[in-house]
Every structure is written in structure tokens, then in C-alpha cells.
Amino acid sequence: MKTGNDEDLTVSGINVTPLVDITLVLLIIFMVTATFVSEQAINVNLPKIESREKAPQPAIIVALGKDGKLKMMKKEVTLEELIKQMAVETKIDPNVKVLLKAQKDLPYFKVAEVLEAIKTGGVIKVALAVERK
């Protein structure tokens, strides 16, 4: 039989909803401030190359000319063809190496487009060719 006394009811668990809410708010604050801190910390001052590191051998050579023309192993290709060819090369050899030669006067985004195409094709190892001093 049930009596009208509510004192017999006990709380058998802890309400974690406020704890989860506070944790999520702190996580969001951390993510937002970490983004601002990392963006302010980026100071790009590219050094001149003096190292004697050699290009990976054997490597597929991709060249990006001053006029924006793209060549792979001396054959002119488009970005789409480059992606397809890189996919074929990675199926043959998953550790294929690519050496990207780009004209130094090119805008950064053009080089980034080619790098993205190479990576989209599945290539993991890409080196940028530079002139030595």
C-alpha cells in the first residue's frame, strides 16, 4: 500500500545535464579562441633554399609554366586529366613520387590548384622543385 508520505522517495542518480551543458559551452569557447590564436600566429617569411636535398628518384615530373600550361612528363594535360593520371599511377604504385616544377612568378593559388589535383589523384609524396643558390 502506498502512503501519502513523499519523504520515502529518494534520488538515486545525479542529474548530469548541467554538467554536459557547461562542458559543451567551454568546448565551443576553446575552439573559437584556438582558431583566432593560430591565425594570428602565422607569419610567413619564406627562406631561401640552401640545402642539398635531392629530388626523389624515380619521380613523375609535373611542370607548371608561366602561361599556366600544365605538363606531365613533357605532355600537356588539363587539371582533370592530371587527376585521372595520378589515380592510374597510384594504382600501379601506391608510393609513387611526384616532382612539381612551377615558374617562380606564378600566383600561389595556381600552384595550390595543381597540388590539390595531385593529392586528389591519390599521390601522397609530392616535392617542389627549387633552384639552388
Residue ranges of domains in the chain: 13-41, 60-128
- The reported pTM is 0.56
Q: Which fold has domain 60-128?
A: Nucleotidyltransferase; domain 5 (3.30.420)
pLDDT band at 115 (very low <50, low <70, confident <90, very high): very high
Query: b vs e for 72-83, b when ≥16 Cβ sit within 10 Å of the residue's Cβ?
Result: beeeebeeeebb
**What percent of the chain has pLDDT above 70?**
71
* CA distance linking residue 128 with residue 82, whole number of Å: 16
pLDDT at site 45 = 41
Compute the Cα dihedral for 101, 104, 106, 111 and give only its sign. Answer: positive
Question: What is the H or E stretch that residue 82 is in?
Answer: helix 79-92
User: Would you say residue 25 has pLDDT above 60?
Assistant: yes
pLDDT band at 87 (very low <50, low <70, confident <90, very high): very high
User: Would you say residue 16 has pLDDT above 80?
Assistant: yes
